[in-house]
Amino acid sequence: FFFFFFFTSYKPDAKPNLYRSEIHLYPTFISTPIIMSKPTLTYFDGRGLAELARLLFVEAGVEYNDVRINRDQLAELKNSGKLAFGQVPLLEHNGNSFVQSGAITRYLAREFGLYGSNNVESSQIDLLVSGVVDLRSNFWKATTDEAKAEYLKDAVPKWAGHFEALLTKAGGEYFVGNKLSLADLAVFDGFNAFLSKNPTALDATPALKKNYEATAARKNIAQWLSVRPDTPF
C-alpha cells in the first residue's frame, strides 16, 4: 500500500520551505547517540495524540520521519498488522512497533532522559500527564458549542489552578526533578490548543504561565513552533 510522506529536514538557520502541498517540515537538529536508527511516527495531519511525541523528538534533537496519513490510508495500515488496536499514532523504531500515545511518549521520554531519575519522579510525571489527559478528554465530552465555550471559560482556568499548585510545590520552575521532563512538555501541549481559544486561561496562574512560556522559548521547541503546520486539531 502507499503512504503520503510529508517530511523533510532543514538546518536551524535555514529559511524553511513552507509549501504544504510539496513537503511537510519536521525539525532535524543534531542527533543524539541515544537512538541509533531513524524512528518513524505515523499519525493524521494534525497535532492531536501525536504532538507530544513530536515535541519529545524536537526537544531531544533527534531526527525522525513524521508521516501523516489520511483515513483511507489508515484502513490500509490496519491490514499491515502493526496497529494492535487499529489506531494511530504508531511509532516504529529498531524493528519494533508501538501504539497508544501514552506508551509511545513514555518510551521516548525514557530514551531521551526525560522521564525522571527514579521511580518516584517517574510516577510524579505519570500523575501530571494523566491530569493533562483528563483536561483534554473532559473538553471533548462537551457535546455542544455552548458547553465547549463554558469549559474553555471556566474549567480550563480551574485546571490551570491545579497545575499551578503542583508546580509551586515542586519549586515553581519545573514540574519534576528541577529540570525539564515529559511532564513540562505534556502540560505545554495540553494547554497550547486551549490558549488559542482562551488566551487569558493562564493569567491567574503566574508560575504555570512562566513555565509554559519558558517551554515554548526553548531553542528547538521555538523553532518547531515557528514552522509547525496550522492544522484543525
Q: Which pLDDT score is estimated for 137? A: 86
Q: Which pLDDT score is estimated for 31? A: 34
Backbone angles phi, psi at 51, to 5 degrees: -65, -35
Q: Which pLDDT score is estimated for 80? A: 87
Q: How far is CA 93 from CA 10, 65, 101, 159, 176, in A?
A: 22, 11, 15, 35, 27
Rg over alpha carbons for the chain, rounded to the nearest Å, is 18
One digit per residue, pLDDT tens: the chain, 233 residues?
334 444 433 333 333 332 222 333 344 333 344 456 799 999 999 999 999 999 999 999 999 999 999 988 998 899 888 898 989 999 999 989 999 999 999 999 999 999 999 999 999 999 999 999 999 888 888 889 899 899 998 999 999 999 999 999 999 999 999 999 999 999 999 999 899 889 999 999 999 999 999 999 999 999 999 999 888 78
Residue 109, C-alpha cell as written in the block: 521520554
Of 94, 98, 123, the C-alpha closest to 182 is 123
